[in-house]
Amino acid sequence: MAANYKKDMVVYQIYPRSFQDSNGDGIGDIPGIISRLDYLRDLGVNTLWLSPVYKSPDADNGYDIADYKSIQPAFGTMADFDELVSQAKQRGIGIVMDLVINHTSDEHEWFQKAMAGDPKYRDYYIIRKGKNGKLPNNWGNFFAVCPWTRIGDTDEYYLHLFDKKQPDLNWHNPAVLEEVKDIMRFWLDKGVVGFRCDVINIIYKDTLADGKKQLALTGIEHYLSTQGCHEILKTLRREVLEPYGAFAVGETVMVDIPKARDLCDESRGELDMLFSFEHMGCDDLGLKWFKTRLSPKRLMHTLDKWQRELHWNAWYFENHDQPRFVSRFPDGEKHRYACSTMMAGLQMTLRGTPYMHEGQEIGMTNGDFRNLDEIQDVESHTVWEMAKHLGIPKGMRWKMIRRTSRDNGRTPMQWSAEENAGFTTGKPWLKINGNYREVNAAREMADDKGILAFWKYMISLRKSEPALMDGDYFLAYMGKNIYAFERVLDGKRLLSICNMSAKQVKLPKQLAQWKQVVASNYEDITPVMRPFEFRLMQEEVECGD
């Protein structure tokens, strides 16, 4: 089965609540996105992934869907959505929907009917009796709460691997598969080009037996990348995506390379590519909440491993679940221009499809939250409670949240130095970063040597240079802070060099013979790589004999 993506795809993630408000209610919306389509076209991206825009009670900001075929009223109407697809298309931009099918909202009609006792819909969910007055099993939960919620005062519970308002669907029931096929066709008929599939490799639970006890996510061995999940992906691919030529990128938790290959190897006909997480762990101690200093070495080792071992992948450094990368590097914020542009250089030269997150192109930083009251994210609150329960002192708890909270990547887009950063005329749903007077798109648009200009340049190179789109990857050098790799195609060789630190590093000898500069985030080329310096060099190789 052929791949359904184009190699020149550059994807931009929109978190609709935080992108652009058009009606002053403090929440971003679809007309707001439409009003910024020219900005996105000028940036050069050709695909937009929308985090969920469906009707939802927003327990998890839309990742709890109450109706898969309608638009969240705060975001606009279905007519607005159709307008977005058509206006985006006119600008050569395709829309990707977020497909959240591990769970629904507890306010979805299916769940409501299930709770009312309708046997058809009870079988859409995972409902079990407790065992001897205890929970049905010993599993853990991604949001650090109990994964079983008792149904009224019965002895039955429903399973939810996330919030209690996100009941898991029962993928053993063929009717669930039929419903999802129908939902996907509904959006494909509207002209969307593909789906980003939320936590897709945990949807099919092999058994509900107790799991092997571990620090977090006990029971995961019973549902991580199971054969049942592979079968579902193959069916969706063959019966739904293929006839439309649509593509699928999976968000896949805890995948290693063999698991990733099984999910996105072209010959298997499942996903086109996936989001892996290993490189996101370059500054943690095994659990994302326990952070340490970012290790450039760990980061580059992980990147290199995945580049070598997987033919194609989805490359991201930020999204709505992750802190901003400029804030993750030690002294990254201090060197904001160099750090953000180095990341642009890295992301646009790696092999695979680049996925950027709104605000990355202007070097946005983590939120400047002062206390838990300013944090909205459900996970941050549940983790706070769990940490309290474990006796972790308040100061330490706050440090954990401040550094890792998902709200860091969700603060409203900083459009200008005007009030509320030009995001809304009302009260923003989440605190806008106080640095918006310096960090904003308007300022960047007026600066042809700024961060935005560099991202634009790198995006255009990425889309026009065959060696960047299609070339092979070879590691050229890996030191403590310097990561250099080649992209090679038909005799053309490009060398991407990144200084992943705020330290000056002498350019390694073996990289010094490359003389021709294609891109650089410093004005001149010296024998020293300055803080977060990026260079793209080229060398023509003589072909023939």
Of the candidates 136, 189, 408, 451, the one whose C-alpha atom is nearest the C-alpha of residue 283 is 408
User: CB–CB of 242/185 below 8 Å?
Assistant: no
The distance from CA 497 to its chain's CA centroid, rounded to whole angstroms, is 25
Residue number with CB closer to ligand NOJ (60 or 533): 60
Single residue of 60, 272, 283, 444 touching ligand NOJ by CB under 6 A: 60
Which residue is nearest to ligand NOJ, using beta carbons?
A: 63
Q: CB 127 → ligand NOJ: shortest distance, Å? A: 20
Q: CB 100 → ligand NOJ: shortest distance, Å? A: 5
Mask for 224-243, x = binds ligand NOJ (CB under 6 A): --------------------
At 498, is the secondary structure helix, strand, or coil? strand
Residue number with CB closer to ligand NOJ (262 or 321): 321
CA gap 57, 48 in Å, rounded: 24
Residue number with CB closer to ligand NOJ (314 or 338): 314
Q: CB 161 → ligand NOJ: shortest distance, Å? A: 8
Phi (first) and psi of residue 181, to 5 degrees:
-60, -45
Q: CB 163 → ligand NOJ: shortest distance, Å? A: 8
Q: CB 199 → ligand NOJ: shortest distance, Å? A: 5
Q: What angle do CA 75, 80, 81 make, to 5 degrees?
A: 85
Residue number with CB closer to ligand NOJ (163 or 262): 163
Cα dist from 83 to 18, 29, 80, 193, 434, whole Å: 20, 13, 5, 15, 33
Residue number with CB closer to ligand NOJ (63 or 247): 63
Mask for 236-275, x = binds ligand NOJ (CB under 6 A): ---------------x------------------------
Residue number with CB closer to ligand NOJ (262 or 377): 377
Q: Collect all residues with Cβ–Cβ distance below 8 Å to 450 and sequence separation of at least 6.
A: 337, 443, 444
Q: CB 198 → ligand NOJ: shortest distance, Å? A: 5
Q: Collect all residues with Cβ–Cβ distance below 8 Å to 534 and sequence separation of at least 6.
A: 338, 341, 342, 344, 345, 346, 496, 497, 498, 499, 519, 520, 521
385 catalytic residue (yes or no):
no
Computed from CA positions of residues 359, 362, 363, 368, in that sequence, does the dihedral angle turn out positive or negative? negative
How many residues touch ligand NOJ under the rule CB under 6 A: the total is 9
The distance from CA 241 to its chain's CA centroid, rounded to whole angstroms, is 21
Stretch (H or E) spanning 263: helix 257-264
At 475, is the secondary structure helix, strand, or coil? strand
Token pair 């991202």: residue: 455
- Catalytic-role residue among 29, 60, 98, 251: 251
Residue number with CB closer to ligand NOJ (98 or 444): 98
CA gap 103, 171 in Å, rounded: 10
Mask for 173-202, x = binds ligand NOJ (CB under 6 A): -------------------------xx---
358 binds ligand NOJ (CB under 6 A): no
**End-to-end CA gap in the chain:** 36
- Catalytic-role residue among 60, 163, 198, 278: 198
251 catalytic residue (yes or no):
yes
Reported for 143-149, long-range contacts at CB under 8 A and 24+ positions apart, including other chains, are 143/378, 143/379, 143/382, 143/383, 144/216, 144/379, 144/382, 144/383, 144/385, 144/386, 145/382, 145/386
407 binds ligand NOJ (CB under 6 A): no
Residue number with CB closer to ligand NOJ (159 or 468): 159
100 binds ligand NOJ (CB under 6 A): yes
CA gap 129, 395 in Å, rounded: 40
Residue number with CB closer to ligand NOJ (14 or 34): 14
Residue 472: count of CB within 10 angstroms of its CB: 12
**What is the DSSP-derived secondary structure letter of residue 443?**
H
63 binds ligand NOJ (CB under 6 A): yes
162 binds ligand NOJ (CB under 6 A): yes
Residues in the chain: 545
Residue number with CB closer to ligand NOJ (382 or 414): 382
**What is the DSSP-derived secondary structure letter of residue 361?**
G
Of the candidates 485, 505, 482, the one whose C-alpha atom is nearest the C-alpha of residue 297 is 482
Reported for 53-59, long-range contacts at CB under 8 A and 24+ positions apart, including other chains, are 53/16, 53/81, 53/97, 56/105, 56/107, 57/105, 57/107, 57/165, 59/105, 59/163, 59/165, 59/166, 59/378
Mask for 317-336, x = binds ligand NOJ (CB under 6 A): ---xx---------------
Stretch (H or E) spanning 177: helix 174-189
CA gap 280, 286 in Å, rounded: 11
Q: CB 285 → ligand NOJ: shortest distance, Å? A: 22
Catalytic residues: 198, 251
Q: Where does this chain bind ligand NOJ (CB under 6 A)?
A: 60, 63, 100, 162, 198-199, 251, 320-321
